[in-house]
Chain A
Amino acid sequence: MEALKIIWQIAYREMLILWKNPIYGFCMVVFPVAVILFFTTLMDEGVPTELPVGVVDADNTSTSRSLVRRLDAFQSSRVVAHFPTAAEARHAMQRNEIYAFLYIPKGTTEKLMASRRPKISYYYSMVSVTSGALTMKDLKVISTLGSAAVGQATLRARGATDAQIQAFLQPIAIDLHQIANPWSNYNAYLSTVFVPGILMLFIFLLSAYSIGTELKFERSKEWIGMANGKMLLAMLGKFLPQTLIWLAIFFGYEYYIYGVLHFPHEGGAWQIIFLGLIGVLSSQGFGIFAFGLMPSLRMSMSVCSLWAVLSLSMAGSAFPIMGMDSPLQSLSWLFPLRHYYMVYQIAVFNGYPMLEAWFHLVALVCFALLPWLVIGKIKNAMLNYVYIP
């Protein structure tokens, strides 16, 4: 009973601190909401459409023009310009006017009619990753279709049926099943990792900041005194209000992407709620641990921010961990976001049983328990250290 009272008193004091210092309001509510809205609205389309591409049509016949028209009709490409030469088209790429261009040399149609196998080329740039991959896909389909059209016309003239034509043109078809995300929606890839990554950044930083500022504003003795020197009560009381706010933000974010935007999630509500809970607790654990390790506000916050920024790459959501060097593969275990991402993709995105992600769950629980190791050091710092700017 006594313990509960102490926790409540410290929590009440903490709430006043959170209310009085505007930086908490900004970093716990305003910025996270802004980041959530930024990522979800930025990639609202899901897949980029109407990417500007160019055409160098030196042939200029009805066949080549129909090829260009067909390219324009694709969802992700839009033909914005015709260029007289390939050099000029390349120049337009350097000026960022187009992402790719199709080059149809003179005499293409003529050679096609005479069965002399003309060659068309397309030039694309992988400098912008997504647009490069998408324009390449469209241009490839166009060329294949061009070939198929000729074959189809020849076969039809010989009297083949449609089924025969199809079997001849494409003897082996690929039946693609994109499990869990059939639209290959980029928003569902990036917003589900980068937003939690930035939320974790804020949790890291504010956990270290809120302990460090006790020292900085010379309130630390008062804080420990309220708990009668019992660090467990002091920590519980201090972080209870923060945990609740973080959980509200995290659950709000999860409700927004799964409930309102309907991001793909094979896993049920319990998995999602559990993931949010363990994500918040493990990041708080890391933040407190970082401060305990280096009880200086500046150093611990620097470490937290550098770690959090790195974890966005080390989560392995954009460039997979399996493609990195092996030392990095082991290092990735040190980042809570990596484990969060693995649990997310196993249990929520693909809907496999939670048990398959046991290793990552254990790791997250360990992160949440890390403060245990340094709690004595934090107490010592609170009672004896003096803040040095």
Chain B
Amino acid sequence: MSIFHNIAEVVSDAAYIWRQEMRQVFRDEGVLIFFIIVPLAYPLLYSWIYNNEVVREVPVVVVDDSHSALSRQFTRMCDASPDVRVLCHAADMDEAKSLVSRQLAKGIYHIPSEFDRNISRMQQTTIGVYCDMSLILTYKAIYQTAVAVSGTMGAGIQMKLSRPVTKREAEITVQPLAYDDVPVFSPGGGYGSAVLPAVLILILQQTLVLGIGLSAGTARENNRYHELIPIDRHYQGVFRIIGGKFLCYFMIYAVMGAYLTMVVPKIFSFPALAHWQDLLAMMLPYTMACIFFGMIVSCIVRYRENIMLLVVFVSLPLLFMTGVSWPQSSIPPFWQSISWLFPSTFGVRAYVRMNTMGATLNDVALEYRLLWVQTIFYCIVACLVYRHQIVISRRNALVRLDRIGRKLAVTEQLRRRKKK
């Protein structure tokens, strides 16, 4: 047998396994849910949830003990701000507190009785801000609005006191050093556009691992001897099995990956700054690493449903380890090193920086290389694990053959079936 013949056989076996695997995927509704429906529907659902990006018009109660023109001005200005809405005036703090405890308001502005008097006396005056701290975003809205309004009113008071000649002089007195704050890359500063790109990439990995695990579980359960690798002429080498399965999953996820990284951001107009060449270069090793990773995980699964118990719950910790909500520089080293095991860590970091921050492939070179390292490493491990599975199923087959071999008649029958 020539080497070419050998290669041709491997390729044709791989193609056979590819077809078998593809057929199995489309016949199994459990796998279909995770391969097709979840990647298609979840991004839309999440985009809908985070559609509004920021919280506006947080309700607050005002307790106005001052009853002065200035205190009313403060209330009016807060109400006019985009982030806060004055729900009502309360007679005293107790009434205000009961409104907060009934979840009708998220905070209290308390204007003390000496508010107006202190300003007239040229003394510093205070406004009490009481925030319900159960939600960070509403707390920020209430506090920042109070700071901004008091700053604006304070500037007005300063101007009156210093009696400037020109407008320019007034500006200089109030703020000798001007500043500009520029939110770059994601100017809306919304919650959705920060979290969603990471979720998209994570969905890719999680559904792949779930789908591969489910289909491996099914294969094992449908097998008479509960083995992953069937005894079959076509399933005789590691490379053809890995190659065949890989091609099947890669074919599906090339489409899904393109949908998640190119179409979804367009539909919901999230920032999409990456060049398609860079995106392609990054997604290639990411998808490959995820597939091999999924193949390794699938070997652990004994019953098909167990994969859900193993995989679903890690999604949230994985999201946190990418550094998208908790800063990467503050993740303890132990969890940092755990996070290196998962392709999603580098995939998310690279994708977010390219897509949202407009980085080039050069800027994410570290993540890019690590994705290739993971691909190669997981490919080798997957080969070893599958080799082990083949050895097991061969050994078990031999044991069975040996056991049955004593009964000649049965052996005859078995041989005939194998030839067929």
Contact = CB atoms under 8 A, between A and B. Distances in A.
A232 interface: no
Contact of B326 (A35, A43, A320, A350): A43
Nearest to B115: A172
Contact of A123 (B171, B172, B184, B335): B184
A174 B332 contact: no
Contacts of A42: 320-321, 326, 331-332, 335
Candidate in A90, A190, A205, A320 with the most chain B CB atoms within 10 angstroms: A320
A167 interface: yes
B366 to A, nearest CB: 8
Interface in B285-338: 303-306, 308-310, 312-313, 315-317, 320-321, 323-332, 334-335
A35 B325 CA distance: 17
A345 to B, nearest CB: 4
Contact of B327 (A99, A117, A118): A99
A338 to B, nearest CB: 12
B309 A205 contact: yes
Interface stretch (B13-21, B356-364, B371-379, B409-417): B356-364
A385 B119 CA distance: 79
B330 A389 contact: no
Contact of A119 (B102, B153, B179): B179
A170 B158 CA distance: 9
B150 A174 contact: yes
Given A94-B357, A176-B131, A184-B136, A129 B125 contact: no
B364 to A, nearest CB: 8
Contacts of A182: 133
Contact of B309 (A23, A178, A324): A23
B312 to A, nearest CB: 4
Chain A: interface residue count, which band?
35 or more
Contacts of B323: 128
B176 A150 contact: yes
Interface in A288-309: 297-299, 301-302, 305-306, 308-309
A171 B153 contact: yes
Interface in B114-139: 119, 122-139
B153 to A, nearest CB: 6
A151 B316 CA distance: 49
A43 to B, nearest CB: 6
A190 B52 CA distance: 21
A37 B357 CA distance: 32
Contacts of A122: 179-182
Interface in B132-183: 132-140, 143, 146-147, 150, 153-154, 157-158, 161-162, 168, 171-173, 175-183
Contacts of A121: 179-182
A100 B208 CA distance: 35
A306 B38 contact: yes
A328 B312 contact: no
Contacts of A132: 183, 189, 194
A49 B161 CA distance: 39
B122 A164 contact: yes
Nearest to B134: A345
Interface string A120-141: 1111111111111100100110
For A116, A127, A132, A325, the residue with the greatest tally of chain B CB atoms inside 10 Å of its CB is: A127
B352 interface: yes
Contacts of B326: 42-43, 48, 130, 186, 190
Interface stretch (B43-51, B237-245, B252-260, B276-284): B43-51
Contact of A94 (B188, B320, B363): B363
A113 to B, nearest CB: 10
Contacts of B48: 325, 328
Nearest to A118: B177
A349 B100 CA distance: 13
A26 B310 CA distance: 9
Contacts of A299: 29-30
9 contacts: A23-B306, A112-B176, A124-B182, A126-B189, A132-B183, A186-B326, A194-B316, A301-B308, A313-B46
